[in-house]
Amino acid sequence: MVQFLAVWRRQLFQPIDIASLVYFRIAFGAIMIWEVWRYFTKGWISRYWIDPVMNFTYYGFHWVQPLPGIGLYLLWAAMGLWALAMMVGWYYRLCAILFFLGFTYSFLLEQARYLNHFYLVCLISFLLIFMPAHRAFSVDAWRRPAIAASVVPAWTLWLLRAQLGLVYFYAGVAKLNEDWFRAEPLRSWLARRTDFPLIGHLFTEEWMVYFLSYSGLLLDLFITPFLIWRRTRWAAIALATSFHLINARLFSIGIFPWFMIAATLLFLAPGWPRQLGHWVTSRGRSTEPLPSRPRGRISRVAPIHLRRSAILGFLGLYLAWQVLFPLRHFLYPGNVNWTYEGHQYAWHMKLLSKQAQVEYIVIDRATNQTWFVNPEAYLQRWQARKIGSRPDLILQFAHFLASEAAEAGYPDVEVRADVTLALNGRPYARFVDPEVDLVHERRTLAPKAWVLPMGAEIATEPYPVGPDTTESLTESAEE
């Protein structure tokens, strides 16, 4: 075992071509510029962080609040410039740090907007801070020839591969559940997308539904080893690319498919961009083979053993966290797809189709006066669509209603939630204990006793809403 670890240690610091790392720096920067452009042109900065009456915060980050005035617009404009600077390698490390902080700050502003690919961008932008991706084909290398290098330690590329591999693998692990085995919720989604080119007319056929469900499961679980193995690498890249292109057409998931297609090329030999560039510039006429390892000194990332030990320590801690953290939902009782406790940060993607009715009951203790509150009276519709299935959002909104009541002259109120939920085609069932006063429930990471077990109280139709509710809240969230 000790000998095996020693071999791996040497392998992690072997010099490899920097070309693949440079490619990813450019691709990442370009995709982030595109994302910034989308947020400006689609009006999402205002929609998600300025227009809402309240923003749902993440546990432990309630202090993260939107910048006032035009602050958020300036921040996103700056993130576009930082992404551009990363792409061309201009003050790369400083801009990588600033982009990571800016994007992570934006991510933490609204929990109802949690997306797995936003979390992935936070992680990748963090890792790029430590990557010497600016030491070739960059403004930094042109301005400071002393830092230029054509090779880097192998750990830089393997760390990015490991992060991507974990995303694929845990997405597959999350599909090992009863619903996915019976092809739900994919069956209901495909039935609404029969306009898909060429094969859409087959989406209502059971054999096609099961084929797509199980092939998606197997691809997520096994694509990484096939990408690593040289003999199957190109076939795996073709399969992964097809998978992401289909997802891009079927679902509205933003930059994620394109990001993953670009990132999957990291599993090719490190020098593939250089070889491709050589082939293009020579127009394919040259028959002289390229050297397997370009000449040049290694990037000065780990010149002494002490720093190597520090890097190995960082790699061990980071990867241990990425391996263990997605498993935390096993510490909670019940089905994670029902309770949603531990669902985030675990690469649980496109697993849930939920319909919910949500109503809050606010009772003044002094007069026993009662109000029935529809969340859409306060929240943006995109927020209201998420609240019915996420306990922390349910609790945060209850506390918000209590504060609103206090400002209106009712300082002592009870707030209860009547939530019914249908998960992946199941009958509606009560999700929250309606007798619990949520005002006195604290936000914690512990299991929430007021979340009822799946199917505890089943109804074939949604439970009736209060008489003063103008419109029931129906959620159809595909997560």
Q: Is residue 223 part of a domain?
A: yes
Nearest alpha carbon to residue 20 among 127, 117, 132, 122? 132
Shared domain for 356 and 253, answered yes or no, is no
- Residue 458: left (phi > 0), alpha (psi -120 to 50), or beta? beta
Contact at 8 Å (CB) between 375 and 358? yes
* Structure tokens, 433: 């204990």
- Residue 284: left (phi > 0), alpha (psi -120 to 50), or beta? left
Say what the pLDDT of residue 469 is.
31
Query: In terms of residue numbers, what domain contains 402?
Result: 352-478
Total of domains in the chain: 2
- Distance (Å, rounded) from C-alpha 91 to C-alpha 29? 13
Instruction: Indicate the pLDDT class of residue 283, thresholds 50, 70 and 90.
Output: low
Shared domain for 146 and 102, answered yes or no, is yes
Backbone angles phi, psi at 40, to 5 degrees: -75, -50
Q: Going by C-beta distance under 8 Å and a sequence separation of 6 or more, which residues neighbour residue 130?
A: 156, 314
Nearest alpha carbon to residue 237 among 257, 214, 267, 271? 267
Q: Is 165 helix (H, G, I), strand (E, B) or coil?
A: helix
For 338-394, the DSSP string reads HH-TT-TTTT--S--EEEEEEEEEEEETTT--EEEE-GGGTS-HHHHHHHTT-HHHH
Shared domain for 300 and 377, answered yes or no, is no
Q: Is residue 336 part of a domain?
A: no
Shared domain for 183 and 305, answered yes or no, is yes
* Structure tokens, 410: 């009712």
Q: Is 461 helix (H, G, I), strand (E, B) or coil?
A: coil
The per-residue pLDDT for range 405-458, each reduced to its tens digit, is 999 999 999 999 999 999 999 999 999 999 999 999 999 999 999 999 998 777
Q: Is 476 helix (H, G, I), strand (E, B) or coil?
A: coil
Shared domain for 93 and 192, answered yes or no, is yes
Please identify, among 328, 360, 391, the residue that sits at the C-terminal boundary of a domain: 328
Kind and range of the H or E element at 420?
strand 413-423
Say what the pLDDT of residue 292 is.
44
Shared domain for 48 and 178, answered yes or no, is yes
The per-residue pLDDT for range 366-395, each reduced to its tens digit, is 999 999 999 999 999 999 999 999 999 999
Q: Is residue 344 part of a domain?
A: no
Quote the DSSP letter at residue 433. -
Q: Is 477 helix (H, G, I), strand (E, B) or coil?
A: strand
**Residue scoring higher pLDDT (1 or 130):** 130
User: Is residue 8 over pLDDT 80?
Assistant: no
Helices (H), 129-271: 139-143, 154-174, 178-181, 186-191, 206-228, 233-250, 256-264
Contact at 8 Å (CB) between 89 and 141? yes
Q: Is residue 290 part of a domain?
A: yes
For 117-156, the DSSP string reads HHHHHHHHHHHHTT--TTSSSSHHHHH-GGG--SEEEHHH
- How far is residue 226 from each of residues 175, 229, 264, 276, 333, measured CA to CA in Å? 19, 5, 12, 22, 35
CB atoms within 10 A of CB 280: 9
Shared domain for 114 and 207, answered yes or no, is yes
- Distance (Å, rounded) from C-alpha 400 to C-alpha 113? 18
Q: Is residue 334 part of a domain?
A: no
CA atoms within 13 A on the CB side of 177: 21
Q: pTM value?
A: 0.91
Nearest alpha carbon to residue 35 among 141, 163, 151, 121? 121
Please identify, among 264, 295, 328, the residue that sits at the C-terminal boundary of a domain: 328
Contact at 8 Å (CB) between 360 and 398? yes
Please identify, among 271, 293, 328, the residue that sits at the C-terminal boundary of a domain: 328
For 30-96, the DSSP string reads HHHHHHHHHHHHTTHHIIIIISSS--PPPTT-TT--PPSTTHHHHHHHHHHHHHHHHHHTSSHHHHH
* Structure tokens, 110: 């609204």
Q: Is residue 335 part of a domain?
A: no
User: Is residue 467 over pLDDT 60?
Assistant: no
Q: Is residue 284 part of a domain?
A: yes
* Structure tokens, 112: 């109802």
- Distance (Å, rounded) from C-alpha 453 to C-alpha 148? 59
Backbone angles phi, psi at 372, to 5 degrees: -105, 125
The per-residue pLDDT for range 156-210, each reduced to its tens digit, is 999 999 999 999 999 999 999 999 999 999 999 999 999 999 899 999 999 999 9
Shared domain for 271 and 398, answered yes or no, is no
**Residue scoring higher pLDDT (282 or 21):** 21
The per-residue pLDDT for range 74-105, each reduced to its tens digit, is 999 999 999 999 999 999 999 999 999 999 99
Beta bridge partners of 428: 459
Shared domain for 362 and 324, answered yes or no, is no
Shared domain for 60 and 119, answered yes or no, is yes
- Distance (Å, rounded) from C-alpha 112 to C-alpha 341? 14
Say what the pLDDT of residue 7 is.
65
- Distance (Å, rounded) from C-alpha 449 to C-alpha 458? 19
Instruction: Indicate the pLDDT class of residue 282, thresholds 50, 70 and 90.
Output: confident
> What's the average model confidence in pLDDT over 322-342?
95
- Distance (Å, rounded) from C-alpha 299 to C-alpha 147? 7
* Structure tokens, 119: 């979390």
Shared domain for 306 and 356, answered yes or no, is no
Shared domain for 220 and 369, answered yes or no, is no
Kind and range of the H or E element at 397?
helix 391-407
Q: Is residue 456 part of a domain?
A: yes
Task: Scan for tokens 């109000």, then name that residue.
Answer: 371
Nearest alpha carbon to residue 340 among 394, 391, 399, 283? 391
